């Protein structure tokens, strides 16, 4: 018989109320024995609940850390790319052709030829602007690609950023080569020559109607989804979080209430 049933029997059984002292002592012994068994089981169960609660807190803390890190990296990538794409979009690639590229050739005594190419200050600044933009674009491609399994929305944005192949032939004309993952590599010599010899074309390929414009469109789309990219704890952990919350919520309160049974028994005897 459970301790609750024994308690009910003790409170509501008229025969017990008018029983002899020996009978009452026997009933009390049974009740205390049942309560002792409950207390032992409750202690063991409470230890298990404490472990569940501790594990749940650890899992939720890890979830919060992962979400915070994701959001922080997302924001950094979008801000960096937004800044560098804005610079490229409005950049004046007319750096002048005279002495923009100088090449010096030297031959040592053994007949070895060394060619050194030097860019003008204006051309070097233009190259650096494009390099920074491409590096930021590649960082965003990598970020979304690495996190594409986080959610369907991230996977969709990764596909958007990675789709550079449809203009691959246009980019290649100024020395930008598209890779299979959507990232871009730069042939510096070819890009330098394109800037010097056809700055209008470089502006067209990279400017508001080119790669920089596309990047800004991708950024806008990604930012519109920012608060939905990382799944909620419920979506990520599923039914396990409900189960753990159940055990660490009502179960704790019920356990505490049942543990006070001993005080009631003391009052009876």
Q: Which structure tokens are listed for 129?
A: 């602007």
CB atoms within 10 A of CB 8: 12
Return d(Cα 265, Cα 98) in angstroms, integer: 103
pTM of the model: 0.69
Q: Which residue has the tokens 């890779």?
A: 179
Q: Please give the average per-residue pLDDT across 85-112, as a whole number.
A: 88
Cα dihedral 133, 137, 139, 145 in deg (nearest 10): 180
pLDDT at 135: 98
Report the DSSP beta bridge partners of residue 118.
Answer: 102
- b/e for 17-45, b at 16 or more Cβ within 10 A? eeeeeeebeebeeebbebbeebbeebeee
Q: Report the length, in residues, of the chain.
A: 269
| Structure confidence by residue, pLDDT tens digits, 154-190 | 999 999 999 888 889 999 999 999 999 999 999 999 9
- Boundaries of every domain in the chain: 3-52+242-268, 53-241
Task: Provide the 3-class DSSP secondary structure of residue 114.
Answer: strand
pLDDT band at 49 (very low <50, low <70, confident <90, very high): low
pLDDT at 164: 86
| Structure confidence by residue, pLDDT tens digits, 210-260 | 999 999 999 999 999 999 998 876 665 555 555 555 444 444 444 444 444
Listed residue (132, 164, 161) closest to 147, CA to CA: 161
- b/e for 108-138, b at 16 or more Cβ within 10 A? eeeeeeeeeeebbebbeebbebbebbbbbbb
| Structure confidence by residue, pLDDT tens digits, 109-160 | 787 888 888 999 999 999 999 999 999 999 999 999 999 988 899 999 999 9
């Amino acid at each position: 018989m459970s301790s609750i049933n024994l308690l009910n029997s003790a409170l509501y059984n008229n025969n017990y109320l008018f029983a002899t002292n020996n009978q009452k002592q026997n009933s009390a012994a049974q009740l205390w024995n049942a309560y002792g068994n409950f207390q032992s089981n409750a202690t063991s169960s409470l230890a298990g609940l404490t472990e569940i609660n501790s594990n749940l807190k650890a899992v939720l803390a890890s979830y919060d850390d992962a979400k915070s890190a994701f959001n922080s990296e997302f924001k950094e990538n979008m801000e960096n790319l937004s800044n560098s794409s804005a610079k490229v979009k409005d950049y004046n690639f007319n750096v002048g052709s005279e002495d923009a590229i100088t090449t010096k050739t030297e031959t040592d005594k053994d007949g070895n030829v060394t060619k050194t190419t030097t860019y003008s200050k204006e051309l070097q600044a233009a190259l650096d602007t494009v390099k920074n933009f491409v590096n930021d674009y590649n960082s965003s491609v990598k970020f979304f690609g690495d996190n594409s399994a986080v959610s369907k929305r991230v996977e969709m944005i990764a596909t958007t950023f990675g789709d550079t192949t449809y203009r691959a032939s246009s980019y290649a004309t100024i020395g930008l080569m598209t890779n299979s993952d959507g990232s871009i590599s730069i042939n510096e010599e070819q890009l330098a020559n394109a800037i010097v010899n056809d700055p209008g074309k470089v502006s067209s390929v990279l400017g508001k109607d080119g790669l920089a414009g596309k990047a800004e469109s991708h950024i806008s789309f990604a930012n519109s989804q920012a608060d939905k990219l990382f799944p909620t704890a419920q979506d990520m952990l599923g039914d396990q979080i409900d189960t753990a919350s159940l055990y660490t919520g009502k179960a704790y309160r019920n356990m505490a209430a049942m543990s006070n049974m001993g005080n009631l028994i003391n009052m009876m005897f």
